[in-house]
Chains A and B, each alone.
Chain A
Amino acid sequence: MNWAWENREQVIDLTLTHAWLSAVPMVLGFAIALPIGWYASRHRRLRGTLLSFGSILYSIPSLPLFVILPGIIGTGFLSPVNVVVALTIYAAAIMVRSATDAFSSVSPAVLDAATATGYSSRQRGVGVELPLAGPVLLAGLRVVSVSTVSLVSVGALIGVSNLGSFFTDGYRRDFMTEILVGVVGIVVLALVFDALLVLAGRILMPWASLTRPAGVEA
């Protein structure tokens, strides 16, 4: 691990880039999936269609998607935007299913009670449904986080720098230490993201750790 210390500037630099390339798709994917999931939990007929569409998007392999995106959205071939857009698609595809499950798990009796106490439909959505769906949403985000952090590294194959660049560079130079540094960096980054999500969950939903609803374990 001396090598990692000697090259600490590059390690830190690539770790930050990797974190950035992972965080943006997670946030965007979540923001896109939340309203779709809420809508799908309301409309049984659309639900199947939306979920199968999500599963089709998720089954597209990542490297080919990175390659064809510039031709579709007109970005430069080496642009990190391709990776961000592709990973946003995957994040949204996983998250739509979680969000649908999350909002469907809210008991209709609670919704009726909220309406009866005079909540408007917007207040009810934000003040009642969202917090109650929270634990299942968090479980979905944790799955998205692990898979996104890991998938970013494939971007190194098309020249987008991140911790995965240690894999391609280490392979070319026949230098195993560099590859190990990349693997450790990615696993640590995934653990940090996961810990941050769990922490955010504790702070935003202090009740969830006391009464753990079924389905939280992902």
Chain B
Amino acid sequence: MSVVSDTVEWFSDGSHWSGDDGVPIRLLEHLGYSALTVGVAAAVAIPLGLWIGHTGRMRGVAVSVTGAMRAMPTLGLLTWFALISGIGLTAPILALVILAIPPLLAGAYSGLESVDRQTIDAARAMGMTEWQILTRVEIPLALPLLVGGIRSAVLQVVATATVAAYVGLGGLGRFIIDGQALSDYPRMVSGSILVIVLALALDAVFVGLQKIAVGGRAPAPATSST
């Protein structure tokens, strides 16, 4: 019970809600890093994934690279990069971008692969150019899986940005890492609750976006197992 009351007390303390180390600033930092890294990763991974899905080229490489990346321990990547590039935001941000690429890539190429070949052939037979096929047929039909990939990437980045506080990144993870350094358990628990609420809220937003992406059509296949 003391954990609960200590945490409630932490949240009701006004000083935790203002200043550079207050909840609003840390939350904005966390959202900022997440948006930045997912944005950069998407700019690289989505065009690449669309190209792989549209042409079918390099698919084997993409599958094995995204598979191998899953085995990569995020904390190892973060500390390694931090030692290479020294103190600063470059290392953690770069590590976050790298970790966000595999789900985005997989969402893009598996999304295009989920489109029925006959639909694409029909579009081609109607005289659509390759570009028109991609933008007017394949991407709209691939949207649910594409959004699913962005959803995984966002959750991955929000979680890893928390861990990245260990190598000096700001954001909500600071409450956990600093709290531990000071043996301030209520601070750690409060930070953890904030991260969990943020992750669940973002997840809920993406569930909504996926519903919109599916639109009035029949739902897309539930798994991207191929």
Contact = CB atoms under 8 A, between A and B. Distances in A.
Nearest to B76: A183
A64 B4 contact: no
B7, B84, B163: residue with the most chain A Cβ atoms closer than 10 Å: B163
Contacts of B220: none
Interface stretch (A126-134, A149-157, A201-209): A149-157
Contacts of A217: 225-226
Given A59-B199, A59-B200, A71 B76 contact: no
Nearest to B80: A179
B6 to A, nearest CB: 9
B120 interface: no
Nearest to A136: B225
Contacts of B163: 62-63, 154, 157
B76 A67 contact: no
Interface string B170-206: 0001001100100001001101110110011001000
A146 B163 CA distance: 19
Given A167-B73, A186-B73, A63 B79 contact: no
B196 A71 contact: no
A158 B199 contact: no
B73 A63 contact: no
Contacts of A62: 159, 163
B75 A67 contact: no
Contact of B196 (A61, A171, A218): A61
A188 to B, nearest CB: 10
Contacts of B189: 67-68, 71
A11 to B, nearest CB: 15
B82 interface: yes
A146 B68 CA distance: 9
A187 interface: yes
A215 B225 contact: yes
Given A59-B199, A60-B196, A101-B223, A150 B83 contact: no
A176 B80 CA distance: 7
A62, A64, A139, A182: residue with the most chain B Cβ atoms closer than 10 Å: A64
Contact of B155 (A59, A171, A183): A59
B75 A170 contact: no
B196 A164 contact: no
B114 interface: no
A147 B70 contact: yes
Nearest to B81: A179
B162 A64 contact: yes
A171 B75 CA distance: 10
Given A59-B199, A64-B162, A146 B192 contact: no
A77 interface: yes
B126 interface: no
10 contacts: A64-B193, A68-B189, A70-B3, A101-B222, A143-B70, A164-B75, A164-B76, A167-B79, A171-B79, A186-B73
Interface of A: 52, 55-56, 59-65, 67-68, 70-71, 77, 97, 101, 139, 143, 146-147, 149-150, 153-154, 156-158, 164, 167-168, 170-171, 174, 176, 179-180, 182-183, 186-187, 190-191, 215, 217-218
The 9 closest A-B pairs by CB, nearest first: A64-B192, A61-B159, A71-B3, A171-B79, A67-B192, A183-B76, A153-B73, A59-B203, A64-B195
